[in-house]
């Protein structure tokens, strides 16, 4: 016999950056694995050092890191961790990004602007990522920025099932906060068998987060309206949309979003809003000072864990959502 015969068994290893360790630990628990011990620290000048304390040679490695604030630091840490896995001879590197940074910069609105979402994709690929696994990108076409497989998960089943179980379906109306969310809102309507309404708005291109709400298209008077969006940042857009719904006679407004960025004045806006409940997932850590009674955070860990298992077993990630229709 020539050569060496091996058992050929695959090995899954789960790694985590420092951005959102609670989510990584929950994913690990649901996969019945432990996070690989990792030595990570900052030098005095801000440079990041990474060293894994177990061998990753020949393993299928999954690295989870949410792009939360300070976003540039955590993206850089993730790139360094990918590079460390590549140089540790990992068999494959799947990068799990529950919340993808710079996703709103996915096209040029005016001349001399960058397409930063594409830049982040290029950086991940150059660092050594073989596959991307993410949740609810700002726009679906961002998947095309990657030169390799992308598993685009959605939190819609988690959010919609929670809302559907607590409201009177006969009074429910799904509301898109702008034209860009209509397709997602349609999927909510199909799942909950509810009518659709749209808030028409105009954004000031020269002032970030500045929105003027114009009118509501659809019947919302006396209805329980569920505003569906992919993220809440400063809260200006979604609170203005909720105000427009109340002005048109809505009985109650519930807001759902996958990513709770909740930066700047978001805390005060959500607290003072007439919205009865903000339903988010834990793709990003919720700041302790913003853990208000009206904010409900649902776990995205089961969805991510099932997707990781399907990728590792060469199964179908798409089937996870087809079976929930």
Phi, psi of 161 (to 5 degrees): -65, -35
Residue 146: CA atoms inside 13 Å, Cβ hemisphere, count?
Answer: 25
DSSP bridge pairs for 182? none
* Contacts (Cβ under 8 Å, ≥6 apart) of 44: none
Q: How many residues does the chain have?
A: 325
Q: Is the dihedral of CA 55, 57, 61, 66 positive or negative?
A: positive
| Gap between the Cα atoms of 221 and 251, Å rounded | 7
Is-catalytic flag, 201? Answer: yes
DSSP 189-255: HHHHT--EEEEEEEE-TTSTT-EEEEEEES--TT-EEEEEEEEESSSHHHHHHHHHHHHTT-SEEEE
Helix (H), strand (E) at residue 211: strand 211-217
The catalytically annotated residue of 110, 201, 205, 291 is 201
Q: Which regions of 65-155 does DSSP assign to beta strands (E)?
A: 92-97, 131-135, 150-153
| Token pair in block for residue 119 | 């830049």
Catalytic residues: 201
């Amino acid at each position: 016999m020539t050569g060496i015969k091996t058992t050929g068994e695959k090995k899954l290893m789960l790694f985590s950056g420092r951005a959102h360790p609670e989510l990584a630990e929950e994913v690990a628990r649901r996969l019945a694995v432990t996070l690989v011990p990792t030595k990570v620290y900052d030098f005095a000048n801000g440079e990041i050092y990474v060293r894994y304390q177990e061998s990753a040679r020949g393993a299928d490695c999954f690295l989870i890191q949410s792009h939360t604030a300070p976003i540039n630091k955590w993206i850089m840490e993730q790139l360094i961790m990918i590079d460390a896995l590549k140089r540790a001879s990992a068999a494959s590197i799947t990068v799990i990004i529950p919340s993808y940074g710079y996703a709103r910069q996915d096209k040029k609105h005016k001349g001399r602007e960058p397409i930063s979402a594409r830049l982040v994709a290029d950086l991940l690929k150059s660092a050594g990522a073989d596959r991307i696994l993410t949740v609810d990108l700002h726009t679906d076409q961002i998947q095309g920025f990657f030169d390799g497989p992308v598993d685009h998960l959605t939190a819609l089943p988690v959010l919609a099932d929670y809302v559907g179980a607590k409201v009177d379906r006969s009074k429910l109306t799904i509301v898109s906060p702008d034209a860009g969310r209509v397709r997602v809102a349609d999927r909510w309507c199909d799942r909950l068998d509810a009518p659709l309404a749209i808030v028409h708005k105009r954004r000031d291109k020269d002032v970030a987060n500045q929105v003027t709400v114009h009118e509501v298209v659809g019947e919302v008077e006396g209805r329980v309206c569920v505003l569906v969006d992919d993220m809440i940042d400063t809260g200006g857009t979604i609170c203005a949309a909720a105000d427009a719904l109340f002005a048109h006679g809505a009985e109650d407004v519930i807001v759902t979003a996958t990513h709770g960025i909740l930066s700047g004045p978001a805390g005060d806006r959500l607290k003072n809003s007439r919205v009865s409940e903000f339903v988010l997932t834990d793709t990003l850590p919720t700041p302790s000072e913003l853990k208000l009674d009206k904010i409900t955070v649902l776990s995205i860990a089961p969805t991510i864990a099932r997707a990781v298992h399907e990728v590792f077993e060469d199964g179908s990630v798409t089937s996870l959502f087809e079976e929930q229709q």
